[in-house]
Every structure is written in C-alpha cells, then in structure tokens.
Structure 1
Amino acid sequence: MTPGAARGWAVRAVDVAAAGLLVVSGYVHLDLYRHGYRSIHDVGVAFAVQAAGSFAVAALLLVSLAVAGSPVLRLGAAALAAGALVGFVLSRTVGVFGFEERGLQPSPQALVSVLAEGALLVLLAGLALAWVRQSGGRRSR
C-alpha cells in the first residue's frame, strides 16, 4: 500500500469514528430529550436540535466516504461537539436559559456525552494536525 493510499484509509477511518461518536452524542441528547428535557423551555429544543444535527452530520460523513470525506463536514462535527461541551459547562456554572445542573448528572448520560464529544474533538484535532504537518503549513495553489 502506498503512503497516499494509507493516508486515504486513515482519513476514512477518522470519518467513520467521528460518525460513530456523533451518533453516541446524538443518542444521549435524544434520550434525555425524550425522558424529560423536552419539557424544559428552550433547553428541550436545544437537545432536539443537537440530536438531529449529530445524526445528520454522522450520516453525511458516512455518505461522503466515497469521495474521501469533507473538511466542511468534519468542521461541522467539531462545532456540534464543541457546542455541546460549552452547553454542558454553562449548565453547570452560570446556567443556560435559567436551567442549571450539577456534576455529572444525569448519570451516566452526562459522562457518556462528554467523553464522546471530547474524543471527537481530539480525533479531529489529530487529523488537522497531521494535515498541517503533511502540508508543511503551506496552502496549495
């Protein structure tokens, strides 16, 4: 296998893993929405949007495998994960739309979600770093 082919497979593996982590995050948000968060004004809508966005981007990442993935979709995946983590931190510090939680409650969903979103950001940051190293920081023309 040539180095270029190996990189192509590695990028595809990252996209599959990213899609899987998005599905986990989306499922947790959907589960929490279905089991009580839908009744929390504004927060319920945010959980439904997070779940739908996660499932949609995960599906698009998998569909895009045929054309070596999409940096825009990876950026969208990172934005979803980062947004969820920011919401998590805000809900435990200053509150979100007047809604506050403590610690890793609800358990185990909060921990599963934080781990999936954190892993997704680390994975995509690693791919971006590898790209920067490969290109030497130069822009292609």
Structure 2
Amino acid sequence: MAETFAVTVSAGTLRDDGALFTSPHRWTEGGVSVVGAFTGAHLLHVAVGGCVLNDVYREAEDLGMDVLGVRVAVEGGFDTATWASTGIGYRVEVDAAASAAEVGALLDRVEAVAEIPKAITQGTRVTRLP
C-alpha cells in the first residue's frame, strides 16, 4: 500500500509562518520555513525542496535576477511494505522582479543543476559507518 508524504519549504515573501521548523538561510533574512511532519519520508522530501529553493536563489543571483520569495511544495509516495519510493514531484512558486518567461527559464536552469534531485534519480548507496 502506498502512502503520500508532503512538505513545503519556503523563504522570503513566500515564507510560511506555521512551520515545523525554521532554519537560517544564506539568501534570506527570515530563514527557510519547513512545513510537514518529522519522519524519514518527509525529510527526504525536505532535502529535495531545500535543494531546489537554494538553487533558485543561487541561480537567480548568477543571472542578476532579484528573487523576493520562493515556495517549493514536494510530495511523493512510498510503498509502506518496502519503503521504496513511488516517485517524488515538486512545484515551485517564485516571487521575483522578472517576467514569467524569465522565471520559467530560471526554473529550467535550476532543474538542470539541482544536486539532490539528480542524486536521487541516479540512485545512491547508503551505508552505516562504523
């Protein structure tokens, strides 16, 4: 049986004040807020959302785009018998002083470089160290 686990990671003008926790953030004064439960499944999705959020700010800075806020909603399922992921999807909302086409190009660039989504889609080995 599959179960869905959803989280939201946000910062700047799109930051959610009803957060599970808030973390300091290099590009925003108020930090990043995380909404969702504190389970391993949710935390994997937080990693995806946090990576995408950070990369939006980083790539926008490189492009000279002024980003005021970012919200990344991530959801995905797990087969609760095996805990194998059934896939992860995310949506990004950006508050920026830019056109929709410029924001779209920014999000395409982020999708191409986001490290955590790339690592997950490539597969990785996780081992307990002594």
TM-score w.r.t. the length of structure 1 is: 0.29
- Compare the two structures and name the one with the higher helix fraction: 1
Greater radius of gyration (CA): 1
